[in-house]
Structure 1
Amino acid sequence: MKKFLAILFSVVVTLGAITVLGANVNDPYEFDGDVITNPFWWLYTTEAPETETEPTTVGANWVLVGQNSNNNYYYDKANMTVNEVVSIQQPGWASELGIYLNVSEAITSVTVNGVSQNVASIDGAGAVVYLSALTQDVNEVIVKYGNNTAKVLFKKEALSETEAPTEKPTEAPTEAPTEKPTVAPVELKITSQPQNLTAKAGEKAVFSLKAEGEGLTYQWQVFSSSNVWANTSIAGNKTNRISFTIPASYKTKQYRCIVSDKYGNSVTSDVAVLTVGETVEGLTITKQPQSITAPVGKKVSFNVVAAGSDKITYQWQTSSNGTTWKNTKVAGHNTAKITLTIPATYTVKYYRVIVTDATTGKSVTSDAAKLTVGNRNLAITSQPANVTAGAGNKATFKVVATGTGLTYQWQTSSDGTTWNNTKVSGHNTDTISLVIPASYKVKYYRVIVTDVTGASVTSSAAKLTVGKEGLAITSQPKDLVAKAGATAKFSVSAVGANLTYQWQTLNASGSWVNTSIAGNKTNTISFKIPASYKTKQYRCIVKDGSGNTVISDVATLTVQ
């Protein structure tokens, strides 16, 4: 357990919404295998009655919030989150790190200790009060929004070591630059998708999701008028939950969230559609149609449940983009349930239903349900190949597969029988690479490929044979800056038996190709720099008599 002496900021929102306690910890701070800078331990409580001067604690949790190696300002563990509470963050529209405050209407002004300049950034119903502005023992923050005024007090208090969080993460062991085959990472996946919403202008819209993984970060996006997905800056845009008051100008909006983990993997949520319209008195939809993921050829159904009238009629509609709708004639299109067999031409479709009270003529439209079509022809078209190389060299394995929404999980084995997930570089992509440890003799690698429907296929096993000869590059080619007309020279030195060389250059298409310049099959190339050159890159592939190969560093030629 790490000990620390901390400073506490206690926050009291007089409108009775949220109380937050925050404490500084050692900076930087190692947490769950990651290094956190600008760290704060926050103790948060929720929903205190408005009549209380000092809000009552209703369930408290310690949460570590800070900036990790990916420059993300949220760092949660297990079920501890900073979502739906006041938190430290720095949205794109804020120039400094600060405490984020969220209210129900557009903020008109924020003052800290009577000062309104350079103390906060404001965006819609959210504001970031800069930590640098909290200079007094008791800091009074006044937030004006709509016709309301909220007063927030930040009070510094001493926090003893015994008051610090009792649950501390142990330091992560130093990880070698190769692999830990016996420890499987937590798979990144979304367990609860954001749901469609129908509401009126002026009401609050809320979209949220739940995900599993390690070191999760979030980025919400909106489908813009330019028909592209763009990051949104509305309240909570970097958490698992966004909320905002619906403007009168809105008719339909689409939102989604990109969730990333500490390994650089990412997954995109389903699209949630906001439909803005009037609520029909009496007639209501009590159960919305649900999104479905299924392969081509499968029979799927969408259904709705409505109440409020004895004479209800239905008209189902379909859309390719969730924006432009037309009536459909699939089986049951005038009932509460439609059924269809997914055609081979489908990739994504949306379905909704207009429910009408036949007596009054009034109608209400359901949420849009998304049909995501998986490719039932999931297949591996190129298997990972065997590799023979010496210890210290880089080994690479690659798979090529066809399907929809593919994900990858590489595995390793010492005997080709017992398999474990691996954490080597690229373990959740189609390509892995590792530097071969001296302790290796033989290893096997394979990959499990999964499509959007959940179907999976496992590749054949590729064998890594570690050569006995100590093939290695002892001197790398160096970068060179020279003028056109001068002579450029690049060399490599290597040790091993029966060595051969092949120099390569990076072409305009971004691919490495063999070069035919003088010395291309020796350890040194030399040529006169053409006037047309600006920048060129070169590398050398060295191979020994046993077939082991090693690739040199890239050397860059910059022409002045």
Structure 2
Amino acid sequence: MSMLYSSLCTGPAIDVQPSDVNAEAGGTAILTVEASGEGLSYQWFGPGGNALTDVDGDIEGSNSSTLQIINVESGDAGDYTVVVTNSAGSVVSDAATLSIAQPTQSPTLAPLILNCSAEFLAESQQVSVSCTSSRDLDGLDFECSFNDESVTEGCGQFPFFVSVAGASGSQTIVISATDPADGAGFTSTITITTTAPEIETQPESVGVEQGGSASFTVEASGAGLTYQWFGPGGVALTDSDGEIEGSISGTLTVFNAEPGDAGDYTVVVTNSAGSVTSDAASLSIGEI
């Protein structure tokens, strides 16, 4: 007695259809099909129903379940299908569409422009440097110098400060910016002239009745001037409500003058380049 064994071969079935793909021009598009059945073979077809063949650097997997289109171009856009075959038959997949997107363009950067300014701070004998730019300051690299000497502290963090104590004449501050995004650069140069103050008009002597008000005025030239008035005996004056006003300005006023206020008054005018002391102006007090 003998037994016959036979095997029944069934045609292929597609379990997962290929999906639409959107690829950037120059990129790679991948289409995949999943099929069941024995002894399967595959043939992919491109736009217009053209049978595809592997081409080195362009097409891979034209006879496999996964098709790769390398360095896609606009001409590769369209519908793709695959025919899956075995000895019992064949089946054609649904069409999967390949669309081509243009590569994302980097935003065009505005021309790099740097606008810098400086303000003299008489009290601290410093220059405050501030800058604005056509681009984001935080994205720029900076180099700074003062009179050809590198400034590292605070450079690029605005405002930053440069000491000009004792400096006289023309001072130069240079701020250079570079954008690492595209290598663009811009340099801003600031020139500050520091000259010791000069007194143009000396304070004049004043006579007032007791209880009256006396004012002394000095006129001086120079940048970033500060003033300090001194009273009888060379005592530095400070403002006192109802008694003294303007002790650190160009005009000093003594209110409610009394005999003890009589004497010589001077003022020292200062800037970063030096100082000058005025002639003495006398205050005399008369009786009411």
The interval holding the TM-score normalised by the smaller chain is: 0.3 to 0.5
Higher Rg = 2
TM norm structure 2: 0.42
- The two structures have a TM-score, normalised by structure 1, of 0.23
- Name the structure with the higher helix share: 2
